[in-house]
Structure 1
Amino acid sequence: MKASAARPGAPAPLVIESSVVEGLPAEGALLLRMSGSLDPQGAEAWSAELRGHLEQADRAGLRPVLDMGHVQLGGAAVLRTLSETAHQRTGRPDLIIVRARPGVREAVHLARLDGVRLYATLDDALRELARTPTRAEELPAWRSQIADPLRPSYDELYKEVRALRARVRTAPVIGMAQGILMVRYDLPDAGSAFTVLRETSQRFNVPLRVLVSAVVAARPPDGEVWFPGRRSLPVPQLRLPARGCRDPRYRRQMIDAVLHEALAAGRAPAGYVQLVDPAVNALTPETHHGCAEAFLDHLVRGRDEGTADAVARATGRAVSVPDVAADALLGDDCRRVLLATGTRALHSVPVLSSAGACTGVITVHWPDTGHRPTAAQARTLGVLAADAAAWLSWYHRSVLLDALEHLHQTLIRATV
């Protein structure tokens, strides 16, 4: 790739230099040395040139080896390009990368790209090409603590992956809700159902995923009124989340308030709130503060097994883990992510309805081993969980049912 004239102080453009490495017992290698900066704007040009070099290697019967020891920036841009390249090379020898910076290495491991191998050094890669047994570099899926200029873009990558996972979890429920409305109201297509869902979501300020979950979980209407005989309910008297004149009709505002009070009560630097999604009967992250992106990525995967949240939900009791490294309650995956992101102790409190069903969990984290909430802190967190349960019940029976009734009436009028 030819270097274009760079502005003073601008990152150096990316350059690819190729050379053949010969004298190997197996086939030779085409070494592609890369230097300079890669950003989203330059990713397309880099991808095109990289494909040209790889085609050259294939025609010559050489194994391509990418030396990325001097590539700056990148992150998600590098990952997208490598993903596309690996996909196009299906059925051909794996793409070998050596000396990649920590952010790029971890991004490849996080995405679990097929057809891409990572090695710490060029010698390791050449031994592989020479059929000498060697072990590919193994890195944890969570982010390392190594200082690296790619860290900001790598955090952005975690956010992208987390958002994708959240959409993957929500999409089937949206599809179910669309199907229910199409059958129930004889709508012509899924788009018509989605339009009404979106309008109702915006009108009542109810998140779309919450609305579609309610459509799926609620009993079907049996007449022109979905919930006949329903009366307006007074807002419950809340002791903690109501401070600061927060509007109980605004779901996100109230959930954020619950977390804020929990962090203050436990004097904790990090924490999050999960609520049960009735459509899938699983805990879903709602809000968080101070949590590392790697942990949030783990959380959004929805793997409740081996977590304090799951135990608190199952038992209906608060769960304290004063030593994350040693407590047998935690599963290996959960423990590994918690330790890697600096959490050494945690406390989870279930949010229980008046009938005793768990509707959510509030969890706070501490960086110090041996930390437990004091008796006073535990009582305050218990009061907070009770307040959250009372508000959530009111919200579901008031704001959410109002939204469902509006949805029902709108579709009845549209089909008359």
Structure 2
Amino acid sequence: MEALWRALSRLRLADRELADVLGEITRLADEHVPGAESTSITLLRGDTAVTAAHHGDMALAADEIQYERGYGPCMDAGRGGVVLRIDDMTTEQRWPDYAARVVGVGVRSSLSTPLPYQGSSIGALNTYSTRPAAFVSDASAEAAREVAEAVAIAVANADAHAQLGEQAHNMQRAMESRAVIEQAKGVLMAQRRVDAEAAFDLLREASQRYNRKLRDIAAGIVASTHQPPAG
């Protein structure tokens, strides 16, 4: 576990694409979760599940078999926020049709650990093995839990950056709108010889009359002052 903690502590989140971070985490899980031979991360958005990263084709194939059906250990772990372990696919009774198919891609046992996020779960870390009972030790469960928490932190970090980016974009748009409205007010003040408040009232009345956004009305007025004279 100490080696896993050190590896996760060195994980760089800033200025990286989420897919790259999650790809590195699946590799670390494959190396440090006892029993793991192939690993993936399932993210859930509403009813949609997607493999955000995987290490080894076996994990991806096993995930896809579940997505086709809309249920399975990794999806149910993510939805329910519970750890789900299968010790032997050949005798598994909870998901018998899934288990029968996944043996065909080499999986004999698996461990699905939910990804904790703001009091709920956003998916699961999935570890697979070609050997039965590969994840029965407490060490496997503890290591998978540590990795799952690292995934949740990475996703939270990416969400925060996305929200900040959207907020910055919205603020820029608001500033641009404010600027063009002020320009339009200046044009109306000069043309109609009114004060700033009256000029804004003219813009607002035009916006209501023509059912157009105030910014669009203002932009049209500003643009008209830049058109060359006819003739």
Shared fold (TM-score, shorter chain, > 0.5):
yes
Aligned partner of residue 241 in structure 1, secondary structure: helix
Runs of 5+ unmatched residues, structure 1: 1-237
Residues 407 and 325 of structure 1: CA distance in aligned 2, closer, same or farther (over 3 Å): farther
Structure showing greater relative contact order (alpha-carbon pairs closer than 8 Å, 6 or more residues apart): 2
Measure the CA separation in 1 of the matches of 2:115 and 2:7: 14
Shift of 1:406: 3.9
1:290 alignment partner AA: G
Q: Report what 2:141 is aligned to.
A: 378
Residues 288 and 391 of structure 1: CA distance in aligned 2, closer, same or farther (over 3 Å): closer
| 1:404 and 2:166 aligned | yes
Shift of 1:364: 0.7
| 1:360 and 2:126 aligned | no
| 1:395 and 2:163 aligned | no
Q: Is 2:109–2:133's contact at 8 Å kept on the other side of the alignment?
A: yes
Indicate which of 72, 97, 110 corresponds to 1:346. Answer: 110
TM-score by structure 1 length? 0.37
| 1:268 and 2:30 aligned | no
Runs of 5+ unmatched residues, structure 2: 178-214, 217-231
Q: Is 1:241–1:257's contact at 8 Å kept on the other side of the alignment?
A: no
Shift of 1:346: 0.4
Instruction: Show CA shifts across 1:304-336 (max 9, x none).
Output: 32x11133124322111011121112141x223
Percent of residue pairs bearing the same amino acid type: 14
Shift of 1:362: 0.3
Aligned partner of residue 147 in structure 2, secondary structure: helix
Q: Report what 2:75 is aligned to.
A: 310
2:55 alignment partner AA: H
Aligned partner of residue 324 in structure 1, secondary structure: coil
Measure the CA separation in 2 of the matches of 1:330 and 1:265: 27
Shift of 1:291: 2.2
Measure the CA separation in 1 of the matches of 2:124 and 2:102: 17
Residues 359 and 314 of structure 1: CA distance in aligned 2, closer, same or farther (over 3 Å): closer
Shift of 1:382: 1.0
Shift of 1:378: 1.5
Shift of 1:282: 3.1
Measure the CA separation in 2 of the matches of 1:353 and 1:291: 27
**Higher Rg:** 2
Residues 244 and 385 of structure 1: CA distance in aligned 2, closer, same or farther (over 3 Å): closer
TM-score by structure 2 length? 0.64
Residues 258 and 244 of structure 1: CA distance in aligned 2, closer, same or farther (over 3 Å): closer
Indicate which of 263, 286, 303 corresponds to 2:52. Answer: 286
Measure the CA separation in 2 of the matches of 1:299 and 1:329: 13
Shift of 1:245: 4.3
Aligned partner of residue 262 in structure 1, secondary structure: helix
Structure number having the greater helix percentage: 2
Residues 295 and 348 of structure 1: CA distance in aligned 2, closer, same or farther (over 3 Å): closer
Instruction: Show CA shifts across 1:85-106 (max 9, x none).
Output: xxxxxxxxxxxxxxxxxxxxxx
Shift of 1:410: 5.5
Measure the CA separation in 1 of the matches of 2:113 and 2:92: 17
2:105 alignment partner AA: T
Measure the CA separation in 1 of the matches of 2:153 and 2:83: 18
Q: Is 1:248–1:391's contact at 8 Å kept on the other side of the alignment?
A: no
Q: Report what 2:181 is aligned to.
A: none
Residues 329 and 272 of structure 1: CA distance in aligned 2, closer, same or farther (over 3 Å): same
Once the two structures are superposed, the pairs formed by residues 151-190 of structure 1 within 5 Å of their partners are: none
1:250 alignment partner AA: E
2:17 alignment partner AA: Y
Aligned residue pairs, count: 172
